[in-house]
Structure 1
Amino acid sequence: MRMKKDPKLSFYKPDYESELRIPFIPDGVSAGFPSPAADFMENNIDLNKELSENPLATFYIKVKGNSMIDAGINDKDVLIVDRSIEPQDNKIAICFIDGEFTVKRIKLEKDCLYLMPENSNYTPIKVTEENELIIWGIVTYVIKKM
């Protein structure tokens, strides 16, 4: 997956002009009993387009740290984030709070907002009126090395 770096934000924008075509087998692979191959049908896929429902509002960001490991988000994973999705309870979001970016799960309670880590070694962040908070976007996919 080719990405263009945005030096002002240290985020990455999808490169929709790339002509890179990756072989893709659309019938999937069995995770249970083996299934006969359907003539090894092969197409091409462009992950920049496939993983982005709204290209103008999509960006990538690399994770630093392990506060979200119980949500399957590890250090050095790449997150695909859509800024057009409305933030809501229980969604994982890229947040800009008090001058720093973080990835956390949104938790809405009556008259209160928390940014929740998914690692018991970290404490939730209670957002108060003293905090400056911007929800940059909602995480839609995680790309990780196995």
Structure 2
Amino acid sequence: MGVIVGPRVIDAGLSLVRILVAPVAVAAGYPSPAQDYFEGRIDLNEHLIKDVTSTFIVRVTGQSMEQAGISDGDELIVNRALEPKDGSVVIAVLDGELTIKRLRITPTAVILQADNPRFPDIVVPALSELTIWGVATRCLHHV
């Protein structure tokens, strides 16, 4: 069925995390002669979380969303207050089962699309119960 969200949900808005931030962008190609010092700190909550009361972190298991840059073991920042739109990566509850998929809304169907060709898309049957639990806003990818 694709990527299943683990049962562990962690409230992402309760702790304050401050991390040093470089004053310039860092080149991913050739090294930059940029300054070699850090200036100030940033609060990751300010950059990653728009609504503390409705934001959660979920851990991903499986590979059905790999081409969206979401890998097994990654954490997703999920906002439950956002309205899902066609193309949103969502946490969906289909007939009681949690899954992470890209939401596709067509004139004839609602589809939970896998972003990996090895996994089938799920065309939501007319009599099924579908709830969009939240919309993924960021992926915390392990390197």
What letter is aligned with 1:63?
Answer: V
1:112 to 85, 109, 126: 109
Residue of structure 2 equivalent to 1:68:
65
Listed one character per residue, the Cα deviations across residues 25-62 of structure 1 (whole Å, up to 9, x for unaligned) are 14221234443324624221222332011221111100
Identity %: 38
> How many residue pairs end up in the alignment?
137
Listed one character per residue, the Cα deviations across residues 5-44 of structure 1 (whole Å, up to 9, x for unaligned) are xxxx5211114343x4221214221234443324624221
Query: Which ranges of structure 1 fall in alignment gaps of 5 or more residues?
Result: 1-8
Q: TM-score scaled to structure 1, two decimals?
A: 0.84
Q: Tell me: CA distance 1:26–1:78, structure 2 relative to 1, closer, same or farther (3 Å).
A: farther
Residue of structure 2 equivalent to 1:13:
11
Q: 1:1-146 counterparts in 2 under 5 A?
A: 10-18=8-16, 20-38=17-35, 40-146=37-143
Query: Which ranges of structure 2 fall in alignment gaps of 5 or more residues?
Result: 1-6
Q: Which runs of structure 1 show a deviation greater than 4 angstroms over 4 or more consecutive aligned residues?
A: none
Matched-pair contact (CA < 8 Å) for 1:16–1:48: no
Separation in 2, partners of 1:106, 1:81: 14
Matched-pair contact (CA < 8 Å) for 2:20–2:38: no
Separation in 2, partners of 1:59, 1:49: 14
> Greater relative contact order (Cα 8 A, min sep 6): structure 1 or 2?
2
Cα RMSD over matched residues?
A: 1.7
**Residue 108 of structure 1: how far off its partner (Å):** 1.1
